[in-house]
Amino acid sequence: MGEIDFTEAVAVMKEKSEKIIAGDLSELESTLAVQVVSLNAIFCTLTSRAATCEYLNQVETNLRLALKAQAQCARTVEVLAAMRNPPIVFAKQANIAHGHQRINNNQSPTHAEKAIKSSNELLSEADNAPLDARGTLEPIKINQELETGETVDGS
């Protein structure tokens, strides 16, 4: 393997970043596609290696690494699919503000409501009228057999 020239590497990265900024994601997609193939090969290699191991800890280590490679492969496929077919977002409400923002999600009233009197205004006679218009009644004695008993133990 030869050495990588730093200035050449910076120039290549700058060129690729300009393509991405311009909207050309083909190189990113090809990189992800290569990663999917590589991770799948790692998975296959580690599972076949685990099948030939003699000791349980070796089998466990190889299978754990294989499953991690498989999970990363699946995640890479999801990212690649999302790049090719971005999900459609249906937003009912977007809150975009650079400070305080009040959000009213309820339906706005169609007309002005009746104003409520504040507590410092004079009350009219109708406001002080009793709620029960039948008048006052004489109290009824219930359970007359239950009356106060004598004190026990000084209580």
Mean pLDDT, range 134-146, rounded to an integer: 71
Cβ pair 32, 79 in contact under 8 A? yes
What pLDDT score does 138 carry?
77
pLDDT of 155 strictly over 60: no
Q: Where are the domains of the chain?
A: 28-84
What pLDDT score does 2 carry?
76
Binned at pLDDT 50, 70 and 90, residue 46 comes out as very high
Summary mean pLDDT of the chain:
82
Give 53-100 pLDDT, tens digit per residue: 999 999 999 999 999 999 999 999 999 999 888 888 877 766 666 667
Binned at pLDDT 50, 70 and 90, residue 103 comes out as low
pLDDT of 1 strictly over 80: no
Candidate from 40-54, 80-94, 122-136 with smallest mean pLDDT: 122-136
